[in-house]
Amino acid sequence: MVGEIISVGTELLLGNIVNTNAAYLAEQCAALGVSCYYQTCVGDNEERLTETLKTAFKRSDVVILTGGLGPTQDDLTKEVVAKLMQLKLVEDSKAKEMLISYFEKRGIEITDNNWKQALVPEQSIVMYNDNGTAPGIIAEKGKKTAILLPGPPGEMKPMFEKYVVDYFKQRNPFVISSVTVKLCGIGESKVESEIKDLIDKQDNPTIATYAKTGEVHLRVTAKAENEKEALKLIRPVVKKLKTRFGEKVFTTEESVTLEQAFVDLLLANNLTVCTVESCTGGLVSARLINVPGVSEVYKFGHVTYSNKAKRKIVGVKKSTLEKYTAVSEQVALQMVKGAGVFSKADVAISVTGIAGPEGGTEDIPVGTVFIACDVKGNTRVEKFQFKGNRTKIRENAVAAALTLSRKCVLEYITQVSFGNKKDK
Amino acid sequence: MVGEIISVGTELLLGNIVNTNAAYLAEQCAALGVSCYYQTCVGDNEERLTETLKTAFKRSDVVILTGGLGPTQDDLTKEVVAKLMQLKLVEDSKAKEMLISYFEKRGIEITDNNWKQALVPEQSIVMYNDNGTAPGIIAEKGKKTAILLPGPPGEMKPMFEKYVVDYFKQRNPFVISSVTVKLCGIGESKVESEIKDLIDKQDNPTIATYAKTGEVHLRVTAKAENEKEALKLIRPVVKKLKTRFGEKVFTTEESVTLEQAFVDLLLANNLTVCTVESCTGGLVSARLINVPGVSEVYKFGHVTYSNKAKRKIVGVKKSTLEKYTAVSEQVALQMVKGAGVFSKADVAISVTGIAGPEGGTEDIPVGTVFIACDVKGNTRVEKFQFKGNRTKIRENAVAAALTLSRKCVLEYITQVSFGNKKDK
């Protein structure tokens, strides 16, 4: 099936917002086996939208449109589609009811222009909107289909997942399924070279690599008659990847983040954690606190940006700061030790570095970061050299801190189970 | 002048990356007076790219293309444009030299496919690439222009700013300039209703509102013969907006963020700051530490997510936690007091709230956040009720904390200058 995406909205043409809808829809379509060769953005303009639609229907079976479904005069996507497909607009009683209840709940009076949101092209599938007022529509005529979705991502995505995914699955004689294997502590090119043999001979399933900050994701995708058959094809490849990359695989669940995997690891082993941060300024703790339920393991965190704070809060020695400077292995170690002792957490993480743009020297250039981790007295410190601007360097440092800490905890667990590590 | 944007790249069609280039170019074009009515994404495919280009040239004077300028066989944007415009590809000696030097510097041997990057359509303007290997091109034929830019934003944007801005300014008989007035502590609809009169009668300059998390930006844009004339039109409107919104205007500089404005305010008044955070988990301190040079004013920060941490680190009383719960005015006040006393900072900020998704009650639903600020003993606490998911609630809380703290500092400064506030 060939599809294409049309994003309607003057705000896109003016660059006021970035078109994340198109990327989302493109990714979903690829996963559902719908090939999309074109994406177009056009304003809320009848003539231009009509032309764009005509061109799209000439070359595609399914046209997915977002935006222009609202109550104002500007919103004309539905009207243009109905006219071109020669479908009458009729009132949908459930859509009307939902509209009334939406406004009643909020205690707002419905203005006249809102009623047009209850109109839908005759014989179409109506996608009721749980997160806004404009319903979506799947309209078919002959061999062509138009799928109309609201513009706000918070309304569009749940609607796509609730209605459109099933619609495509029904129309497509096969399903496309995928599992993502997420790695940390290894670069994209290293990953690619280690699975070159698998990529070279790939057919079904396929393997695609995606580089994220501090992570590499491998998406294994298979095409089959049904979900079960697809997973049967995927499973041995995922197993192979897990064997090759070992502990570097932190999850194979789409929804699990690195911080979630780390917090789960701590929870499973009854370990608590604390953080002390300089250049990352609280971002490591903020990422841990992204995880709901982290209060079970998170003791507390400190942001010691200045030298004085490093001394006062976590007892870094003045002489160490003078001799080695704040961005040094020695200071990272004293930070992690001080934090651990004070908080009595089982795991302590420290980060000190120089995020720039000012303050770099020949010996310690911008991007130098020391990260230390202590797990019940077993301490490790590593030096990193990151590239990019202040934000990029800090984001990389956060990912590296989580990766290193996870590694230290895993090592500790392994060693303890063999009885040859100190346990305070 | 009518322009349009074509983004070339299969990775866009698969949704692997979000098309931020199109938004950037659209915004730049709007500012330069180039009207863009269409944006198209197409893959690295000769036939489809040729069709897309033909359609674009029929309806636009200038077509801006990004992507497909690299060394591989897939990259064919330049070849397709040259063929369609009937321009021969010729070697550009400076581009060749730069290519050689780029590889020499990195100690890499040039592979044969790289040489094609030194080829450019005859008589075109070559835009040399300071951040990569592929040069950009401005090719003219008759009344039509094609502007070819590399795909990576880090190469595309500097090239656009160095070459294309001037090219458009020369071709356009007028300039478009704008100034952004940034507000905090006021919602978008309130802003719009307060300037309805200005918006209704707007012509040149125009005023556009943009809602950001916790901020509203007003962009005042004028069209004139030159920059100076444009600013002459803009200035009185900016002045009017400043008068209407008073202290809510935190900057009129495009590059200044809310955290930067707050840090500048602290610097100018010799005030230091500390933070103590619960639900925001370090995000307030991390935003302050976004600002280079913040070490002058930032004392230190604590993340006290658990009740125990609140007691141990900033001395919140057990009885207060028991009586009022952690998400209360009383705890926010004790947190801010404890942080201030311990750090001896002039300004202390505390945040405690419930970011969800679990843990809400009828009395304290998810999204309830208390923020307190103390400026040298003058304390204020406010309750907020935010909507959205965990991330959204936390981001809103961070913006509210910065906004409230800025307000408290401004009040303190005003009162001190009238001599009627306590100063410890």
pTM above 0.95, yes or no: no
- Helices A307-314 and A329-343 pack at an angle, to 10 degrees, of 40
- Reduce the DSSP state of residue B301 to 3 states and report it: strand
Per-residue pLDDT at B341: 85
DSSP 8-state code for residue B369: E
Q: Which of B2, B14, B66, B216 should we substitute to test contact with A (largest number of A Cβ atoms within 10 Å)?
A: B14
User: A2, A11, A13: which to substitute to probe chain B, counting the most B Cβ within 10 Å?
Assistant: A13
Spatial separation of the C-alpha atoms in residues B385 and B394, rounded to whole Å: 11
> Could you give the angle at which helices B46-59 and B77-84 cross, rounded to 10 degrees?
50
| Three-state DSSP class for residue B157 | helix
Whether A23 and B19 lie within 8 Å, measured CB to CB: yes
Peptide bond into B135 cis (omega under 30): no
| pLDDT at residue B422 in the model | 53
Between A374 and A221, name the one with better pLDDT: A374
Output the pLDDT for position A420.
59
Taking each helix axis as running N to C, give the angle between helix A390-417 and helix A258-268, from 0 to 180 degrees, rounded to the nearest 10: 30
> Six-digit token pair at A348?
């302590």
Chain A residues whose beta carbon lies within 8 Å of the beta carbon of residue B309: 299-300
Q: In chain A, pLDDT over 90 holds for what percent of residues?
A: 72
Contact B305 A309 (CB under 8 A): no
Q: Do B30 and A23 touch (CB under 8 A)?
A: no
Q: E-assigned strands of A59-192?
A: 62-66, 89-91, 119-121, 125-127, 136-141, 144-149, 175-184
Residue A91 distance to chain B (closest CA, Å):
31
Strand, coil or helix: A368: strand
pLDDT the model gives residue B421: 54
Kindly report the backbone phi and psi dihedral angles of residue A382, in degrees, each rounded to the nearest multiple of 5, phi listed first.
-135, 150
Q: Do A37 and B22 touch (CB under 8 A)?
A: no
Q: Taking a C-beta distance cutoff of 8 angstroms, is the pair A111, A70 a contact?
A: no
- Residue pointed to by tokens 């304390």: B379
Divide the 424 residues of chain B into consecutive groups of 10 and give the mean pLDDT of each group. Answer: 94 89 94 92 95 96 95 89 97 94 82 89 95 93 96 92 93 84 91 88 86 89 89 96 97 94 97 97 96 90 94 95 96 95 92 92 94 96 91 94 98 83 51
Judging contacts by C-beta atoms under 8 Å, the chain B residues touching residue A306 are 295, 298-300
Return the exposure string of A293-330: e unless at least 16 CB atoms fall within 10 Å of the residue's CB, then b.
ebbebbbbbbbbbbbbbbbbbbebeeebbeeebbbbeb
% residues pLDDT > 70 (chain A): 99
Decide if B40 and A40 are in contact by the 8 Å CB cutoff: yes
What letter represents residue A298's amino acid?
Answer: Y
Return the residue in A44, A289, A295 with the most chain B beta carbons within 10 A, the one to mutate for interface testing: A289
Backbone angles phi and psi of A175, in degrees to 5: -115, 155
* Dihedral of the alpha carbons of A321, A324, A326, A329, in degrees to the nearest 10: -120
Min Cα–Cα distance to chain A from B399, Å = 15
CB-count exposure of residue B240 (10 Å: 0-12, 13-18, 19+): middle
A231 phi/psi in degrees, rounded to 5: -65, -30
* Bridge partner list, A40: A6, B40
Six-digit token pair at B55?
């359609």
| pLDDT score at B39 | 98
Q: At what angle do helices B307-314 and B329-343 cross, to 10 degrees?
A: 40
Q: Which residues in chain A touch residue B308, judged by CB atoms under 8 angstroms apart?
A: 299
Contact A135, A128 (CB under 8 A): yes
Rounded to two decimals, the ipTM of the complex is 0.78
The DSSP result for A266-297, as a single string, is HHHTT--EEEEESTTTTHHHHHHTTSTTGGGT
- What's the CA gap between A45 and A54, in Å, rounded? 14
A228 to chain B nearest CA, in Å?
24
Q: What is the CA A201 to chain-centroid distance, rounded?
A: 29
List, in order, residues 6 or more apart from A23 with CB less than 8 Å away: B12, B15, B16, B17, B18, B19
Q: Which of A24, A57, A19 is nearest to A159 (CA)?
A: A24
Query: Contact at 8 Å (CB) between A279 and A394?
Result: yes
What region, left, alpha or beta, does residue A172 occupy, with left being phi > 0 and alpha being psi -120 to 50 degrees?
beta
Q: Test B40 with A45 for CB contact under 8 angstroms.
A: no
Contacts of A30 in chain B (CB under 8 A): 14-15
Cβ-Cβ contacts under 8 Å for A356 (sequence gap 6 or more): A366, A367, A389, A390, A393, B292
Q: Which of B15, B283, B303 sits opposite A27 (nearest CB)?
A: B15
Q: CB–CB of A37 and B45 under 8 A?
A: yes
Closest CA to B331 of B301, B359, B360, B353: B353
Confidence at A199, pLDDT banded by 50, 70, 90: confident
Find out whether B281 and B270 touch, Cβ atoms under 8 Å: no
Nearest Cα residue to A121 out of A80, A66, A168: A80
Residue B424: what pLDDT?
46
Q: Where are the beta strands (DSSP E) in B113-205?
A: 119-121, 125-127, 136-141, 144-149, 175-184
Say how far residue B221 (Cα) sits from the centre of its chain.
Answer: 18
**Residue A316 pLDDT class (50, 70, 90 cuts):** very high
CA dihedral of residues B336, B339, B343, B346 (deg, nearest 10): 0
Q: Which residues contact B421 (CB under 8 A, 6 or more apart)?
A: B376, B378, B412, B415
Residues linked to residue B353 through DSSP beta bridges, in sequence order? B369
Distance of CA A118 to the CA centre of its chain: 34
Q: For residue A211, is pLDDT > 80?
A: no
Interchain pair B15, A37: CB under 8 A: no
Assign A234 to helix, strand or coil: helix
Q: Name the token pair of B24.
A: 């950037």
Amino acid at A133: T
Taking alpha carbons only, the member of A257, A268, A267, A337 closest to residue A295 is: A267
Interchain pair B289, A282: CB under 8 A: yes
Answer whether B52's CB lies under 8 Å from B80's CB.
no
Rounded to a whole number of angstroms, the distance from the CA of A398 to the nearest CA of chain B is 11
Give me the sign of the Cα torsion angle B240, B243, B244, B250.
Answer: positive
Q: For residues B381 and B393, what is the distance between their CA atoms, to the nearest angstrom?
A: 18
pLDDT-based confidence at residue A258 (cuts at 50, 70, 90): very high
Work out how many CB contacts closer than 8 A connect A with B: 205
Give φ, ψ of A422 to 5 degrees.
Answer: -75, 145
Q: Residue A403 pLDDT > 60, yes or no?
A: yes
Q: Are the Cβ atoms of A40 and B39 closer than 8 angstroms?
A: yes
**CA–CA dist A153, B380 (Å, integer):** 37
Which residues in chain B are contacts of A292 at CB distance < 8 A?
A: 356-358, 390
Q: What pLDDT does A424 receive?
A: 46
Smallest CA–CA distance from B47 into chain A, residue: A37
Cross-chain Cβ contact B275/A13 below 8 Å: no
Which H/E stretch holds residue B221?
strand B215-224
pLDDT of residue B420: 58
CB atoms A301 and B303 under 8 Å: yes
Measuring CA to CA, which residue among A212, A172, A200, A204 is closest to residue A28? A172
Give the single-character DSSP code of A175.
Answer: E
Of B23, B279, B312, the CB nearest to A15: B23
Closest Cα of chain A to B267: distance in Å? 15
Asked whether the beta carbons of residue B306 and residue A300 sit closer than 8 angstroms, the reply is yes
The structure tokens listed for B158 are 């500097």
Contact yes or no for B48 and A26 at CB 8 A: no
Chain A nearest CA to B50, separation (Å)? 13
Structure tokens at B361: 């009650």
Q: For the ranges A169-178, A386-395, B406-415, which has the lowest average pLDDT?
A: A169-178
Q: Which residues of A62-87 are buried (b: 16+ CB within 10 A; e: fewer)?
A: bbbbbbbbbbeeebbbbbbbbbbbeb
